[in-house]
Structure 1
Amino acid sequence: MNAGIFSECFQRKATKNQIGPLKSTTELGCLDSSRIYVGKRFSEASSELICSICQNVLWKPIACTTCENAFCTGCIQTWINKQQQSKQVMCPFNCTFKEKRAPPILNSLLSKLRVYCAYASNGCEEILSYDALEVHEQTCQYERTPCQICGTPVSNRNTSNKHEARQCFSEMYNRDPNQTQAQFMKLLDIVETSQRRIQTLEKLLGIESQQNQ
């Protein structure tokens, strides 16, 4: 298998120490094996429930008609996209890839798993069935991530309720007026960093537009 594609899939794994906004299982496209709840009535995922690309628990699996191996939908799509220039799309097991539904027995085994919410590190204590996980994470109140400046929980899902600089600065001032100057400088650093990134993107876009003319 292609090591480059492997590394991309591994980068999508959710970790408990992840920095920045957390992502739902669906956004990640794979289910980290460490999130499987193991108890008296529930066991860890067996080998047949592991995606051979990302080496994690299958998430929304589909199978290859030729070899009948199953993969996470996101993983196999990434794999296929890497072969856009190829005349024939090859499966990770070196056979011609033709998609089919995952076997019912596989989905049945997955449905028996119990999984920690993707926002567990934000405080969510829910342990859900595999089938209920996606719906729960769409509305989980712990999806909010603390603002890196003032610490106010900010939703990454609700883009209509933006956490603006004025609100952020006001929150910092109310919390500790004596530290306002230091906090303002921290905010300014982040704004300037964002502006530099925008300028870099604009330059790149300018270069591309010139090449296309």
Structure 2
Amino acid sequence: MGYDLGRFQGDVDEELICTICGGVFQEPRQVSPCEHCFCDECIQEWVKHQQTCPVDRNPITPSSLGPAPRILRNLLARLKITCENEQFGCQAVVKLDGLDSHLSQCEYNPKRPVLCEKGCGLEVPLDELPDHNCVQELHKVINTNEKRIQGLEERIQEQDTCIGHLREEVSILKELVRSFRTSANGIGTPDETERAIQTGRWLASLKPAKVKRWGGMISTPDGVLQNIIKRALADSGCPQHLLSELMANAHERKWPPGLSTLETRQLNRRRYEQYIAKRVPGRQAIIIMASDNEHMGESMIVEPGIVMVFAHGVE
């Protein structure tokens, strides 16, 4: 709907008046190709019921509506209009393009937000302040925030699920690639493919590991300790075909050259942080899979991976 003509100072050109509502254009829109202009709200409502221009009855559609010419918008901007809060005492006369800015600060605006001084500190429309109940409004704020938090938690859960699926797919693809590379003819057999899929799914279910104290590494775990780690891996769902291979690589005698002796481990200790590792659930141990650590080179990784046991320092 347009602005009431009676609010303007001086004469208003008839070219600036909407023929639908009879008021001065508010957010004008132009119809093509006839180039007639109307208030946006007026013409939007019009085309819902009639598909012809209100002036010349030429066919129009919602897609026919476009922005009003710049010269028309400039003419509107220069018009002077009284504040709509005149009935409440405001005597201001402003240019039309400054009306919104004035209304947001007008001290006579009954909807102007003010701070409640009763204790809640909420912003309240001026005309609602006498009936404002701090306790009720704070309950509304709490309920709204709780709903937002619940919505965010649901979105996070959905995203976590999606990320989990993506991690599983990536792990499976990595294991498939590894399987094909190690296969004698470069093409994985159905059994090798199935084992790669099982391995990828299992790895995706494990949490990433962070080692804070590499000095706590036990490079020569005894049989009892190895059995404890083996049982933890089995309980986590480690595929049987992989379990024995990993546990065989839990001792320094099966580690790659860069880790096989105390001397080489000390030389390469700066590289440890580059490992991508998985946590053995419930134990101070990690798994460093070859498929995740190709960037480390052959001197720091072996197929299918390494198990490292620690006295402490694994998160």
**Which structure's relative contact order is higher, taking Cα pairs within 8 Å and 6+ residues apart?**
1
TM-score by length of 2: 0.34
